[in-house]
Structure 1
Amino acid sequence: MGTTASGLATWALPFVLGLAVLDHTLSAAGLGLVLATRTAGFLVAVPVGGVLADRYSRRGVVLVSGLAATVGSPLIALGLGASLPLMAIAAAVVGAGQGACRPAFQALTAEVVDEPRRQEANAATTFAVRVTTLVAPGLTALLATVVDPGALLVGTGVLWLVAALLPPWTGAAKPSGPPEPARPRAGVVTEFADGVREARRHPWLLAGLGALTAVIALGYSATSVLLPLVSRDRYGTEVVLAAALTAYTAGALVGALIVARWRPRAQGWVALAGLACYGVAPLSLLLPVHPAVVVAAYVLTGIGVELFNVPWFTAIQREVAPDKLARVSSLDFLLSYGLAPVGLALIAPAVDAFGTTAVLGACALACVAAPAAAALVPSSRRFAVTQP
């Protein structure tokens, strides 16, 4: 539930700020600045949060990071229409809270849930997040008719407070015997480097992370930028845009239901095949097809994404050394989601230089080729170094 609340708060911030732009209380340039500082805070805090979550209590890191975002959210509302620098600084604090809590939540799941039930737990979490993002736009738009964007921003702070307080407290087992002598702590960079070395012990993880990064930086970025343009220019309506995004979420819900129970022997290969399904999204935008084909492509994409995500998170929780789990998870988020803004920034210039057709074709090819290359790593078959 805490992960769901944090996911909903993360989604809601740009949506509510977009409503503020429509309300003329925030400029488009101001929106870009606030979202950029939030991303910067996220990228800085993700590796630090991973180190702290492995060094101290994971539950404590969730609490502190959630409270930071709780404080930052109403400050964004306070600066709305009054002080853009205050909004930018507060957004950086919210982004830092978001970034620090992500690896801590991943590691906390491994502490709270027994290994046989983790895949079901991860599937349930992603299902809950997808449901909230499916119904939240309509609910937020409805609330916007009775309250202003500032009040909605304060509401995101309440969601972060729920995320901070709701998860259960758990303590790691204490070793028996006499206490070890105190040793000086290594620096954050050194401890994060230990997490990178742990990731290198798992070739499937590096291969899968490379594939995931390529799909998000290229496929996700291309579709995010070009789907609205294709919807407007080819089909002459925004209905295709709304239908495709809704279809993606609906497909993700179906994928979460499937993967909650399905345990194929070659689970890694199935997961990578699901990730490769993202290639059908830019392909559907490339070809002059009926709008229903675009919608169907996004349903398949959503299913494939969850066929990858849930086994991927479960495998990391199972295979990575418990004392380095948060740092490895932070590396995952840092590369896969951290490079997404770079992809978003480069898509438009690439379209200007090479054309929409070439960009969509290249992105579709990369979305298929990167998971296929990752599948060639022997341990990728089951997302495990030791094969049965």
Structure 2
Amino acid sequence: MTSAADSPRPSRRPGSRRPESRRPGSRRPAWAGRNYSLLTAAAVVTNLGSHGALIAAAFAVLEAGGDGGDVGLVAAARTLPLVVFLLVGGAVADRLPRHRVMVAANALNCLSQGAFAVLVLAGEPQLWQMMLLTALGGTGQAFFSPAAEGMLLSSVKGEQAGRAFAVFRMAMQGASVGGAALGGAMVAVIGPGWVLAADAVAFAVAGSLRSFLDVSHIPPRAPGGGLLADLQDGWREFAGRPWLWSIVVQFSIANAVFAAADAVYGPLVARDHLGGAGPWGLALGFFGAGTVVGALLMTRWRPRRLLLAGTLCVFPMALPSAALAVPVSAAYLCAAMFVAGATVEVFGVSWMTALHQEIPEHKLSRVSAYDWFGSVALVPVATALAGPAESAFGRTEALWGCSALIVVVTAAVLCVPDVRNLRRGGKQVAAQGAGAGNGSADAERPVGGLG
């Protein structure tokens, strides 16, 4: 990968604009090429639909007579196939043209969400039917995520990569603001079925955009080796870097408890104390607004110690669970969500920049698959156990436990020297790893994708 240290530095007069900042005759920066622009536009469309659909799915279960445990089971049904197929999806994405993998995954998501919408609009959906359809969506996501991350990381280069990732995430998370707020309002006014239908249309539009991506810059894979060999190669790249696997372990726990609070306890607290789907959708919108502000900050701020700065900004991720545990008013909950979104986005941009700097292009999807796998592996367990935990300990105690776990695992990862020492523009830490000497990681995430 090209780092800042490798990039040529053309001479320029003091105070003049960088020659590479704009394309001739274009208003776009030089790093905002065709692939980058298509990926950004598609991510905006997808996020507009999916963040409303997350709210709609939870309230579809509740309106069908389900309880917190049923909401958790439906959420777990989506994440379980995501965990099962992620590693295969990463290997496939490094073998086949990544844009074709992404389009096929979007088509599956479109069909599954469309069927879910018809099921809800038609009348009494059964729990097993909702679990099956969300499981199909999770399968599509398992193949989409590694391909999408590899495609995005390969679409930019040079010292402007960090800014490019910040702008991408700012656009993506900005769509989350409108998607969550609009989705919550639509659920309250016209019901969850139509919100799910809108998400299906969004996947169709996004898949159409991604079909125009250009993969000619990616060299063809050399013959030899099979799927198992690819998985083993990705594991060597992943396991040889303490900074990489330690942060993935951190987020395997942090994402799990955050998902339990977000997907299960949040809608229940909103129903019982905040007035229903509208205020909860607004709170999720404030989280998205915070991520926009965090990404905007990262277009200007270039911390030298990427992962140290990013990891310190993970601690406020514990605030939303604490706010739900009290529970505070909707206004204070929105404030907690905003702060958490802003600070965790600092981590997100720093993480993507580190991956872009440390991982060879032809292994991006495989290594990203291990990162995604670790980051979501415990989510179905946490969401499935959220209901029983509420029954055993109480909702308030379970939420305080979520906050405490986030703080503990974040403090623990700061004890890893490589997390504190990885620097922008250098490969001092990567040189300690195995294989080719490079390392791995939502986008469109998830916190979704936080890891």
For normalisation by structure 1, the TM-score amounts to 0.82
Q: Is the aligned partner of 1:313 residue 2:352?
A: yes
Structure 1 spans left out of the alignment, 5+ residues: none
Cα distance in structure 1, aligned partners of 2:239 and 2:390? 35
Q: Which runs of 5+ in 2 are unaligned?
A: 1-40, 431-451
Picking from 194, 202, 211, the partner of 2:233 is: 194
Q: In structure 2, how many angstroms separate the alpha carbons of the residues matched to 1:361 and 1:145?
A: 28
Paired position in structure 2 for 1:211: 250
Name 2:208's counterpart in structure 1. Answer: 165
From 40, 49, 61, the counterpart of 2:101? 61
Structure 1 pair 283/93, CA: closer, same or farther in 2 (3 Å)?
A: closer
Q: Provide the residue aligned with 2:414 in structure 1.
A: 375
Provide the rounded CA distance (Å) in 2 between the counterparts of 1:142 and 1:280: 24
Change (3 A) 1:365 1:32: closer
What residue number does 2:115 align with? 75
Q: Which runs of structure 2 are paired with 1:1-388 in the superposition (5 Å)?
A: 1-17=41-57, 20=60, 28=66, 35-80=75-120, 81=122, 89-140=132-183, 152-167=195-210, 168-174=213-219, 182-183=223-224, 185-187=225-227, 189-222=228-261, 224-227=263-266, 241=280, 244-286=283-325, 293-356=332-395, 358-383=397-422, 386=428
Aligned residues with identical type, % of pairs: 29
Q: Identify the structure with the greater helix proportion.
A: 1
Q: What is the one-letter code of the residue matched to 1:118?
A: A
Which has the higher mean CA deviation after the structures are superposed, 221-230 or 307-316?
221-230
Deviation at 1:36, TM superposition (A): 4.6
After superposition, the C-alpha distances for 1:88-128 in whole angstroms (9 at most, x for unaligned) are 55443332222211111110012211242332232223222
Q: Distance in 2 between matches of 1:191 and 1:19?
A: 41
- How many residues align? The count is 379
Would the aligned equivalents of 1:281 and 1:301 in 2 still touch at CA under 8 Å? yes
Question: 1: distance between equivalents of 2:338 and 2:349?
Answer: 17
TM (norm. structure 2) is: 0.71
After TM superposition, give the deviation of residue 204 of structure 1 in Å. Answer: 0.6
2:66 and 2:402 map into 1 onto residues whose CA distance is 28
Pairwise CA distance, 1:21: 5.6
Query: Greater shift after overlay, 134-143 or 270-279?
Result: 134-143
1:261 counterpart SS class = coil
Question: Quick one: distance in 1 between partners of 2:189 and 2:180?
Answer: 15
1:362 Cα deviation after fit: 3.7
Task: Say which SS state the counterpart of residue 28 (structure 1) adopts.
Answer: coil
Deviation at residue 268 of structure 1 after TM alignment? 1.0
Residue deviations 1:269-324 (CA, integer Å, cap 9, x gap): 11001112212333444568776554433222111110111111221222123222
AA partner of residue 74 (structure 1)? G
Contact (CA 8 Å) 2:250, 2:410: kept in 1 or not? Answer: yes
One-letter code of the match for 1:386?
Q
